[in-house]
Amino acid sequence: MDEKSPLWQTGEQRHWIANALMFLFSTALAGVTVGMFVAFANWNIGKLVVLSSLGLCAVVLLLGRAAELVGELLELMERIFPGWKSPK
């Protein structure tokens, strides 16, 4: 029987997550640009669009950094306690 390795082992999951984060980040940056143009017509709506888009950018950047920290923490745990992920 042909067994496929789990998605997280193939690296494909990281690829999809990176693509999703890049899409969210670029969409949020586009929202900032659109909000700046909308601000010329209506300051309150434009300000709301810009601030919410900047907030989304910040959340995406923080999620990316948190994912890096989790990866570093897992590597550190593996160095300190070899084989801790798969007890025998």
How many CA atoms lie within 13 Å of 8's alpha carbon, on the beta-carbon side? Answer: 1
At 8 the pLDDT is: 54
Q: Check residue 6 and give its pLDDT.
A: 58
- Sorted by where each begins, the domain ranges of the chain are 13-80
CA atoms lying within 13 Å on the CB side of residue 35? 18
Dist. CA 31–CA 1, nearest whole Å: 49
In this prediction, residue 5 has a pLDDT band, given cuts at 50, 70 and 90, of: low
Whether pLDDT at 54 is above 70: yes
